[in-house]
Structures are given as C-alpha cells and as structure tokens.
Amino acid sequence: MTFDAIGIAGTGLTVHRKWLDTVADNMANANTVTSTDGAAFQQRYVTAQEGQGVSGVYVAGAQFGDAEGRVVHEPNHPLADADGNVRYPDIDMGAQMGHLILAQRGYQANAAVVDRAKATYEAALQIGRS
C-alpha cells in the first residue's frame, strides 16, 4: 500500500513537472515575434491520462494552440511586412499564471504524499525492529 502511494504520487509529480515545463515555455515565448508569412509560436498544453493497467497518471501527449496568433501593427520592427504588421502568439499571461499556480500546487501535493508515505514506511520498519 505504501509503495503504491509512492508510485502513484511519483506519476503525479512527473505530470505536474511536465505541466510546469509547458507553462514556463508558453510564458517565455509570449512575446516571440514572427513575420506575418510565418506561424506564431503555438501555446502548449499537456494531455494527461489515467494509467492503462497500472496505477497513476501519465503524459499522453501534447496539444498545441492556434498558429494564427495575433497580428500587430509595428512598422518599425525588423520582421514587419510591407503593411508594417508582425505576428505574436495568442497567449493570455493571466491564464498562464493560473495554470502555473495549479501545477505548482499539484506538484507540492504529490511531493507531500511521497514524504508522508516514506515516513509511514520508515515507522513500519522501526516497529519491525522492536
């Protein structure tokens, strides 16, 4: 039972770490500019799924946002087209901050489960030694 808790929480740690990585990537690229003839940076999303035949959760894949982005008029930008437009990703920083908080809290909760299960296992070993 204790080993199951550690294993299951470990899978949760992995998923939340990947989620944190994608949020960080999205935030780092929120102001990445491309020319209007190219695709904008596509926001990343982690797809999690229940383990098939095993306990826990795993990252099933990633999904990507719209490559269209948003077109902004910046005639002095070196990547501006003939009309003075460039393309930015359509990333909402407020939503990303919300995802960041959720992913952090999920990671912390799974880490706490690992710590408590480890303490329980160590206590059981002490009982067996007595």
Note down pLDDT in tens along the chain; length 130 residues: 556 888 899 999 999 999 999 999 999 999 999 999 999 999 999 999 997 777 899 999 999 999 999 999 999 999 999 999 999 999 999 999 999 999 999 999 999 999 998 898 888 888 877 6
pTM: 0.85
| CA distance linking residue 93 with residue 73, whole number of Å | 20
**Buried/exposed 41-64: b ≥16 CB within 10 Å, e otherwise:** bbbbebebeeeeeeeebbbeeeee
For 36, 85, 95, the CA distances from 90, given in Å and listed in that order, are 14, 15, 11
| CA distance linking residue 7 with residue 13, whole number of Å | 10
